[in-house]
A and B are shown apart, each in its own frame.
Chain A
Amino acid sequence: MTQSVVVQVGQCGNQVGCRFWDLALREHAAVNKKGIYDEALSSFFRNIDTRSGGSGPDIYKGKICSLKARALLIDMEEGVVNEIIQGPLRDVFDSKQLITDVSGSGNNWAVGHKIYGCQYRENIVEKLRKTAEHCDCLQCFFIIHSMGGGTGSGLGTFVLNLLEEEFPEVYRFVTSVYPSGEDDVITSPYNSVLAMKELNEHADCVLPIENESLFEIVNKINQMINSGKLGSTVKQNSVVTSSAGSAKTQEKPFDAMNNIVANLLLNLTSSARFEGSLNMDLNEISMNLVPFPRLHYLVSSLTPLYTLADVNVPSRRLDQMFSDAFSRDHQLIQADPKHSLYLACALLVRGNVQVSDLRRNIERLKPSLHFVSWNQEGWKTGLCSVPPVGHSHSLLTLANNTCVKPTFTELKDRFMKLYKKKAHLHHYLQIDGMEQSCFSEAISSLSDLIEEYNELDATKGGPRIDPSRLKIAV
């Protein structure tokens, strides 16, 4: 079994990360009734012997003594991290996993990347090494951050760079929260584009998330619950946005939205942690969904958003879950994959679903989806037998689809609006190590990426006629 380490950077990264750890504990508690430290737990948690004051060797087998998250919490101001380590999750982290400072990055990518990056580099490397040493077989780093600010964006991408240098064999999956058009951080386009260049070059896979989509999903759920349209009651702990059953007692405003992202990560790693008839490991995700190195942006969707308390789920409901996964309002970014071009698509099913259900739904949905010419049957499937808490089954869809293009194009437009007027540029250029070329290279990198997606859309991926096969002399 392999281990993964979560690196949460900045305010957003840490808030989402906090929800992830909380829901992960809840999920394992539901499955692991006997309190034995098993391989599934070890993928994200260490088991420490508290009697030796936490400095002894990890316990690899036997009863759970004290679980510690395989995580690094990084923030350049203390508020969020302090709240975490004083809250109900305090025992899951220890002080050696935290890197904080006082003054923050001022929403400036350059401050996060160049100043703090330089300053904390050794500290970060050392702590990463330590975390890696505790892992028997480290497979993946998950970075969680936002793109629009200074720390998550700047220092987060600095860490991404570091990970590639220090641990080139380990996969780097990045969950990035992209700013919306009405973001109140004026310089968010600069921060995002500067960060995009780093993601283009150093990440294995990026899962872009947009706040607007999360917000719409939360609203939709609230409406459904409040309107009483559902008839029977909704199982509270099944709602993708809920913290019910976890350690958290008070719900904060962003919690519902962050829970969605946390559930995304849990579902992504479920097949690697739990058994199933067709396992889908993290290295398989990268292998199957990234046909060309730079096109590694995956649009995700989670269904169902909630489960009713009715125990008997007719198979029509099951099929509805598959249909929903492809609808616009279940995607975690503002995108419509059905009307764009698919390069590849992965379906990770959890719970009581068999291969025939999977096949039936693929057959049913295929005609309405457009796949690139060289990957007409580009489906990667996984079946994990353990469902998420509160559900009997669930589906995570990851799509490599040209529908990410609008997100990037809008980002580029917002960037250009500011850049043309050189607005706020001096805040960046006055930082040691920042030059005009950083900006021009970054926007060029983004433009190239958009161009690649344009190419694919225009040609649908290849020659119209099948390339002729090799001829054999008889």
Chain B
Amino acid sequence: MSIVTVQLGQCGNQIGHEVFSALCSDIRGTHGLCSKKENESYHDSCKERFFCEEESGVPVARAVLVDMEPKVISQTLSMAARSGHWKYNSHSHFCQKQGSGNNWANGYSVHGPRHKEAIMNLVQKEAEKCDRLGGFFTMMSMAGGTGSGLGAFVTQCLRDAFPASFILNHVVWPYGTGEVIVQNYNSVLTLSHLYQSSDALLVHENDVIHKICAQLMNIKQISFRDVNQVIAHQLGSVFQPTHTGGEGSGYSRNPLGDLMETLVPHPEFKLLGLRNIPQMPENSLAYSTFSWPGLIKHLRQMLIANAKMEEGIDWQVRPPHPGSSIPSTSKPLHFNTSIANLVILRGKDVHGVDLGSFQDPSLYTSWLNPQDAFSAWKTPRAFNKYEKSASLVSNSQFLLKPLDSIVGKAWNMFASKAYLHQYTKFGIQEEDFLDCFTTLEQVISSYTNL
């Protein structure tokens, strides 16, 4: 099954490019560490999911690029073409001239309706090229104007036009200390709207990835490209083919569906966090060895203690005593309760790994069976030069604090009515803001009371 990617705004397009690059370089690599047959199967599955063939033989990404100003798209298209290994369809993009001015209302209420037809036509064309459409993957940031506002509008249109398809939104959360002054407004508006039409939101926070670049990747002068490449690696580790049905089954034919099924049992809980270990500079890979038990132990503790990366984990945090019926209010405060977790393992000796520790009922909220709350996907085919790689996609309280912080700051600004005139002039009124705040307070409350 194929996934159509929609890249929205500067962030969406810049990351999208890195993702396709990472996927392509992974399948071209010779470091699969598995049988030739397995490798070919992986290769074909990835190609089917993300690329389509052209006469020239160069794989063409199944993507639609959207932005309200031309510079980023033209850069993205040319960078891809220059790689020689893959490219975008030269017609599959839509841009305008003026940009959205970091104004969510401009993106949503003005650009959205104005360009709906043109954009949806491009999406339709990509969807038709797929033998079987597995769903949509949209990429955007929530701080700006286009990715956030137009992105929310486009997600709604996708939901209306393809009611039976899965929609996964990749949302980038901005640095806490300002990239854009009105980022908190834009974020609140985006998240509340996406919650209505999307199936799940897969989140990356700039602050977290920045730390990974600084402390794990040892990059001195971190650029957005570095940040995007780490994000692309993490996304690749989720979306590259895996066996979801245990050893011997073929590669999953419905990646988005499988993801939703395992992780989003209830529409009130759609926020997914992502952790991937190990992460290190490429030139250190050859000198490092990891054991699965070690990796699994770290990953589990990262989940429990809500650690953002494998350094600085708080090992003191423990789940509450199993077996005792503890009401949720007295759980240790910094223990991260999960609804559902998905662990994806790639690489050497993957099928013998014991993941029992993730099925501990005390990790989870009480309304799901731990067997149902936890899934594991494995593949012996190593990913992106890492001999062993483990990813965790988690529907848990991972994002509770950051979300609460964003809503708090936005509310503080809203109380002083600052910048509201910029939104009202494009049709987003104070009542609309209030609705969005209400939606998100509801989400925060739900996650808090797990």
Give A contacts to B, CB under 8 Å.
1-2, 39, 136-137, 139, 275, 277-279, 281, 283-284, 286-293, 315, 343-344, 354-357, 359, 362-363, 366, 373-381, 383, 461-463, 466-467, 469-472, 474
Name the residue of chain A whose CB is nearest to the CB of B219. A356
Give B contacts to A, CB under 8 Å.
10, 14, 69-72, 75, 97-103, 145, 175-182, 210, 213-214, 219, 221-225, 227, 407-409, 411-413, 415-419, 421-422, 437-438, 441-442, 444-445, 449
Min CB distance, A94 to chain B, in Å? Answer: 25
Provided the pairs A279-B10, A279-B71 are in contact, do residues A287 and B422 lie with their beta carbons within 8 angstroms?
Answer: yes
A sample of 11 more A-B contacts (CB under 8 A), given A275-B71, A275-B72, A292-B417, is: A283-B101, A355-B224, A363-B177, A374-B416, A374-B418, A466-B408, A467-B411, A469-B411, A469-B441, A470-B437, A472-B445
- Is A362 in contact with B71, judged by CB distance below 8 angstroms? no
Residues of B with C-beta under 8 A to A463: 415
Name the residue of chain B whose CB is nearest to the CB of A383. B224
Provided the pairs A279-B72, A469-B411 are in contact, do residues A359 and B175 lie with their beta carbons within 8 angstroms?
Answer: yes
Name the residue of chain B whose CB is nearest to the CB of A473. B445
A selection of 17 A-B contacts at a CB cut-off of 8 Å is: A275-B72, A277-B223, A277-B224, A281-B69, A287-B103, A292-B418, A293-B421, A354-B221, A354-B224, A356-B210, A374-B416, A375-B181, A379-B177, A379-B178, A469-B408, A470-B441, A472-B444
In the complex, the number of residue pairs spanning A and B with C-beta atoms less than 8 Å apart equals 146
Provided the pairs A291-B419, A379-B178, A470-B437 are in contact, do residues A2 and B97 lie with their beta carbons within 8 angstroms?
Answer: yes
CA gap between A374 and B416 in the complex, in Å: 7
Partner of B416, one of A290, A356, A380, A461: A461
Residues of A with C-beta under 8 A to B14: 277
Provided the pairs A288-B181, A362-B177 are in contact, do residues A1 and B415 lie with their beta carbons within 8 angstroms?
Answer: no
- Is A474 in contact with B445, judged by CB distance below 8 angstroms? yes
Most chain A beta carbons < 10 A, residue from B214, B413, B449: B413
5 A-B pairs with least C-beta separation:
A283-B101, A379-B178, A356-B222, A291-B418, A467-B415
CA gap between A283 and B180 in the complex, in Å: 13
- Is A2 in contact with B422, judged by CB distance below 8 angstroms? no
- Is A366 in contact with B224, judged by CB distance below 8 angstroms? no
CA gap between A89 and B219 in the complex, in Å: 47
Residues of B with C-beta under 8 A to A383: 224
Partner of A278, one of B10, B98, B441: B10
Residues of B with C-beta under 8 A to A289: 181
Min CB distance, B404 to chain A, in Å? Answer: 9
Partner of B221, one of A291, A356, A467, A470: A356
Min CB distance, B246 to chain A, in Å? Answer: 40
Min CB distance, B225 to chain A, in Å? Answer: 7
Partner of B441, one of A2, A275, A354, A472: A472
CA gap between A293 and B418 in the complex, in Å: 10
CA gap between A379 and B413 in the complex, in Å: 14
Name the residue of chain B whose CB is nearest to the CB of A461. B416
CA gap between A342 and B122 in the complex, in Å: 44
Residues of B with C-beta under 8 A to A291: 418-419
- Is A278 in contact with B415, judged by CB distance below 8 angstroms? no
- Is A375 in contact with B418, judged by CB distance below 8 angstroms? yes
- Is A288 in contact with B102, judged by CB distance below 8 angstroms? yes
CA gap between A416 and B333 in the complex, in Å: 63
Residues of A with C-beta under 8 A to B449: 474
Provided the pairs A275-B71, A375-B413, A472-B442 are in contact, do residues A281 and B178 lie with their beta carbons within 8 angstroms?
Answer: no
Min CB distance, A350 to chain B, in Å? Answer: 15
CA gap between A281 and B213 in the complex, in Å: 28
Residues of A with C-beta under 8 A to B145: 284, 287
CA gap between A362 and B207 in the complex, in Å: 14
CA gap between A363 and B418 in the complex, in Å: 24
Provided the pairs A355-B223, A379-B177, A463-B415 are in contact, do residues A283 and B98 lie with their beta carbons within 8 angstroms?
Answer: yes
Min CB distance, A200 to chain B, in Å? Answer: 15
Residues of A with C-beta under 8 A to B413: 374-375
Min CB distance, A465 to chain B, in Å? Answer: 10
- Is A377 in contact with B176, judged by CB distance below 8 angstroms? yes
- Is B101 in contact with A377, judged by CB distance below 8 angstroms? no
- Is A284 in contact with B102, judged by CB distance below 8 angstroms? yes
Residues of B with C-beta under 8 A to A356: 210, 213-214, 219, 221-223
